[in-house]
Structure 1
Amino acid sequence: MTLATDQDGGARPLSAVAMALEGIREPVLEHWAMLVRRHVRGARFLLTPILINTLPSFYANLMQALTPGYPRDDATSHSSAAIAHAGERARMTDYGAEQLIHEYQLFQEAIRDVSAAHKLVISSADWLLIERSINAAIREAVRAFTAIHEELRHKVAAALSHDMRTPLAVIANGAQLIELAEDLAQARRLGTKIAANAIRLENMVGEVLDALTAHNGARLPLRLSRFDMRELIVEVQREFADRYPAALEVAAPSVTGWWCRETLRRALENLVANAIKYGDGGPIRIALAETRGNIVLTVHNTGNPLDEDQRCRIFDYLRREQQVQAQGWGIGLPFVKQAAESHGGSVAVDSAPATGTTFLIDVPVDCRPYVDADSRAAPPLCAAERQSVSD
Structure 2
Amino acid sequence: MSANLTGHLLADDPALSPLTRALVALREEVVQAWMDAVRSAVPQAKELPLPILANTLPAYFDTLAALLTPGYPARVLNDLGAVASEHGGERARMTDYDATAVIHELQIFRDVLFRALHEHGVALGDGGHAAVSAHIDASIRESANAFTVVQAALREQFVASVAHDLRTPLSTAQMAAEMISHTSNDPNVRRYAEKIVASTQRIDGMTRELLDRIAFCKTGAVRLEIHPVDMTALMREVVLAAASAHPVELTLEREGIEGWWCGDAIRRVAENLVNNAIKYGAPDAPVRVTVSTTPERVQLMVHNAGDPIAPEDSESIFQLYRRAGSRGPGSGWGVGLPYVRRVAEAHGGSVLMSSSIDDGTTFVIDIPLDARPFAGAPSAA
Range into which the TM-score falls when normalised by the shorter chain: 0.3 to 0.5
Bigger Rg, structure 1 or 2:
1
Which has the bigger relative contact order, CA under 8 A and spacing at least 6? 2
TM-score under structure 1 length normalisation: 0.45
